[in-house]
Chain A
Amino acid sequence: MTFEPKILGFLCNWCSYAGADLAGVSRIQYPPNMRVIRVMCSGRVDPVFIFKALLTGIDGVFVLGCHPGDCHYLEGNYEAEKKFMMVQKFLNNVDFDKRVRLDWVSASEGKRFAEVVTEFIESIREQGPSPLSGENMDQELFNNLKAMENSVSSDRIRALVGRQRKITEVENEYGEKVPIDEFNDIFDKAIHDEFVRQRILLSLSSKVLSVKDLAAELKLDPSEILENMLMLKSRGEIDYQSIDGNTPLYMRI
């Protein structure tokens, strides 16, 4: 049996959902693999939703909004783009970034809707089933994506992405405009750190581990693990559970 991808689409009400309706009215045919969730604006798509969808084993997630400049809500699609780029930065680390896509379809582009959807479905078909679908789910990948979901749910990452346009395109609280490269360096580091922390928390939520154990499990440098664990400890999220010989064991609080 050939693989039929399971695709979820988030469509904004005003442009892309109308474009999808127009494809129907014009009887333009495209493969029946996508299910649609209607949202008022592509900016409503919380990054958490995308990770949740991927975690259920859905093979691909498509977010469609109004063309830049055409957003019914003035600039929701620009914010959607920033959120989406962040999601891709995370997913890039586990080679999953091509399972999500953001594109623009206007209310008059029924044909374009069918084209972009067909193209996305075919690209997912080529990539094959998600390792998170079916019986033998890749638990390691699942944990990584779960940690990413928790990261995009965290206040630090959300504040950064929520302020990105303001501080890189207008100015920050101190009247300075931050160059986009500088912002990206900060953002990339934050994404990496938050991911490592969330991954540590996830591992410690089911068992007690040492820094060495964690470094081995997460395939990261022990010094980096230690640095982040100290941060988590100071935040009161983890603590020592016991000492195994000379090695402290940590647990989640």
Chain B
Amino acid sequence: MSEKESEDVRIGVFVCSCGTNIGGLIDVKALAEYAKTLPNVVFTEDNLYTCSETGLTQIKNGIKNHNLNRVIVASCTPRTHEPLFRDCVEEEGVNQYLFDFVNIRDQDTWCHQKYPKEAFDKAKDLIRMGVARAARLEALENIIVDATPTALVIGGGVSGMTAALSLANQGFETHLVERENELGGRLKTLYKLFPIDLDAQTLLDNLKKNIKGNKNLKVHTSAQVKNIEGFIGNYEVVLEENGINIDLTIGVIVVAVGASLLTPTGYFGYDGKIRITQHELESKLQNNEVKAKDIVMIQCVGSRNDERTYCSSVCCMTALKNALIIKENNPESNVTILFRDLYTPGTYYEDYYRRARETGVIFIEYSPEKIPIVKEHQIKVHNEYLGEEILIPYDLCVLSTPLVSNNDNKALAQMIKVPLGEYGFFLEAHVKLRPMDFATDGIFVCGSAKWPVDITESISQGYAAAARASRIISHDTIEVEGATSFLPDYNKNLCTGCEVCIKICPYNAISKNEDDEIEITQVLCKGCGLCGATCTNHAIIIRHYTDQQILSEIYAYGGKEV
């Protein structure tokens, strides 16, 4: 413990305005003034953006000039900004565990926008609770563990292949797992790739060639992940390859399992023959089997509806691409695209749309209230511009269906302890700030496993996930949280040896030593706190979430100690 921390508690509270996100609803100056009246608080300040360079300097100056040994930031959410402020206070010599976060944006001003007074009172309560807790915080040291410099990439589609190649090229032993008997994923079944009409098989062959020639990259086809245990830098993975189990020790994991195609059974008379999906059209084009003269494509089939509210994001471009190919093969053919909204962002994609118009592809907008009616050889659609219904003859009707999440995502998600979103896709730690990370350290995600993306984006994300993953395994050791469960010497007399904690610990981190005493292996402990909440004689302490710390928050809110 440094000199600074052995002195009396001196708390500094920094209230962030977050531009107008917080300050636009509640008075941050008044909050800072209020914080000044709380016990042990010696300095408070409000900042426009506490996370900015200016804000961080203000925290450092506060620590220096007022000899602060506890720092509180009342701002957005600890889930995104706690690491930044922890680093900031550490730089000024205050242990990072003596920092505390009060969430007055994500869980306050953003959710109570019509109630400024109540939101202000809530912020006051939360700051008071934070101050009470901060006074009881203790300095802790992080635990250093060895990191195995190996990577596991789950899924051998374009995103997974890119990620695996990138990691292997950086010199890390990389294992690429594909459940089918060859690599490629969705790329295998594609014909041309927009926006440059590259032959999909050329890209795939190039990737495969590079993979084959890479000595760091081990490909496991017809293989599945059976079990994953352990933690960042040290995962014990069991693969089953062609019926044989393989044990691997892995440092980081990239999830690149892609997505599935929706079979539009029941939509627009889908029959797989003259009413087919874009994907089925693609293989027909590849084999030069499209003889139809009147082709009508219907967009948003099975997406952006009540069941699946999301936009699958790849279907507009796919339809344009296939329409152009048909027109090029047979300029005499009539191609009509029935759309709700056309999504062609960026210069390249918009050019593609213009080209399609120039070659004579007809675009007709329909509204979800008046969806097209597909008859045996005609499609009836309400034309918004003419204000009347028109009949379009067809001999091939192509349905643009969305990518949907894989059915077995749930099993994998539970194995690696990461969340899935509403539609069964993998959910990243933060959509903007940590798009390739999971909240669980050491596991990353890329490609359509996360959300439907096209080939270009899959490749970009593959590189991005590899970059994030390599940050960890490029070091020999990793620091893990010091906030673990703990049986201090002064509590050993409280322990009755009942062993409830041993049995309840999900990580087998608690055992009895040869002296028949309870021993907690710090590095195995994940800090969930289950043992502390269960300990029959209150002997185990959960660091950073001690009974005293939590009770102080309860009392600060409740207004009295009981």
Residues of chain A with a CB closer than 8 A to B427's CB: 107-108
Residues of chain A with a CB closer than 8 A to B506's CB: 73-76
Q: Is the CB of A46 within 8 A of B113?
A: no
Number of A-B residue pairs at CB separation under 8 A: 186
Which of B530, B532, B545 is close to A73, meaning CB atoms less than 8 Å apart? B530
With A32-B112, A35-B125, A107-B439 as contacts: A162 and B534 at CB distance below 8 Å? yes
- Measured CA separation A18–B78 after assembly (Å): 10
Mask, A96-112, CB within 8 Å of B = 1, is 00000000001111000
Q: Is the CB of B551 within 8 A of A155?
A: no
For the complex, is A177 an interface residue (Cβ under 8 Å from B)?
no
Mask, A31-56, CB within 8 Å of B = 1, is 11001111111011111110011011
Which of B122, B553, B560 is close to A37, meaning CB atoms less than 8 Å apart? B553
- Measured CA separation A64–B157 after assembly (Å): 37
Q: Is the CB of B498 within 8 A of A155?
A: yes
Which of A28, A70, A75 is close to B419, meaning CB atoms less than 8 Å apart? A70
For the complex, is A189 an interface residue (Cβ under 8 Å from B)?
no
Which of B106, B112, B542 is close to A21, meaning CB atoms less than 8 Å apart? B106
For the complex, is B380 an interface residue (Cβ under 8 Å from A)?
no
Q: Is the CB of B111 within 8 A of A114?
A: yes
- Measured CA separation A153–B533 after assembly (Å): 10
With A17-B79, A24-B106 as contacts: A32 and B534 at CB distance below 8 Å? no
Residues of chain A with a CB closer than 8 A to B118's CB: 32
Mask, B473-507, CB within 8 Å of A = 1, is 00000000001000000000000101011011011
Mask, B352-370, CB within 8 Å of A = 1, is 0000000000000000000
Q: Is the CB of A29 within 8 A of B551?
A: no
Q: Is the CB of A158 within 8 A of B500?
A: yes
Q: Is the CB of A158 within 8 A of B545?
A: no
Least Cβ distance of A162 to chain B in Å?
A: 4
Q: Is the CB of A44 within 8 A of B500?
A: no
Q: Is the CB of A18 within 8 A of B112?
A: no
Most chain B beta carbons < 10 A, residue from A58, A83, A108: A108
Name the CB-closest residue of B to A159: B536
Mask, B426-443, CB within 8 Å of A = 1, is 010000000000011000
Residues of chain B with a CB closer than 8 A to A48's CB: 547
Q: Is the CB of A18 within 8 A of B528?
A: no
- Measured CA separation A163–B501 after assembly (Å): 9
Residues of chain B with a CB closer than 8 A to A41's CB: 528-530
Q: Is the CB of A27 within 8 A of B110?
A: yes
Interface residues of A in 56-108 (CB under 8 A from B): 56-58, 66, 69-76, 79, 83, 106-108
Q: Is the CB of B110 within 8 A of A24?
A: yes
Least Cβ distance of A202 to chain B in Å?
A: 13
With A32-B115, A38-B78, A107-B427 as contacts: A20 and B107 at CB distance below 8 Å? yes
- Measured CA separation A47–B115 after assembly (Å): 33
With A25-B110, A27-B110 as contacts: A44 and B557 at CB distance below 8 Å? no
Name the CB-closest residue of A to B439: A14
Least Cβ distance of A116 to chain B in Å?
A: 14
Q: Is the CB of B558 within 8 A of A159?
A: no
Least Cβ distance of B524 to chain A in Å?
A: 12
Residues of chain B with a CB closer than 8 A to A24's CB: 77, 105-108, 110-111
Interface residues of B in 507-555 (CB under 8 A from A): 507, 526-530, 532-538, 542, 545, 547, 550-551, 553-555
Name the CB-closest residue of B to A83: B533
Residues of chain A with a CB closer than 8 A to B562's CB: 52, 55-56, 146
- Measured CA separation A109–B470 after assembly (Å): 31
Residues of chain B with a CB closer than 8 A to A58's CB: 554, 557-558
Using A18-B79, A43-B528 as known contacts, list a sample of 18 further A-B pairs with CB atoms less than 8 Å apart, ordered by residue number in A. A8-B557, A15-B419, A23-B106, A24-B106, A24-B110, A25-B110, A29-B114, A32-B119, A40-B527, A40-B528, A41-B530, A49-B551, A53-B558, A55-B558, A57-B559, A76-B530, A114-B111, A166-B504
Interface residues of A (CB under 8 A from B): 6, 8, 13-15, 17-18, 20-21, 23-25, 27-32, 35-41, 43-49, 52-53, 55-58, 66, 69-76, 79, 83, 106-109, 114, 146, 153, 155, 158-159, 161-163, 166
What are 30 A-to-B residue pairs whose CB atoms are below 8 Å? A21-B79, A23-B106, A24-B111, A29-B112, A30-B112, A31-B112, A32-B112, A32-B115, A37-B553, A39-B545, A40-B529, A41-B528, A52-B555, A56-B558, A56-B559, A57-B560, A58-B557, A69-B414, A72-B417, A72-B528, A74-B507, A79-B504, A83-B533, A106-B419, A107-B439, A108-B420, A153-B538, A155-B536, A155-B537, A166-B504
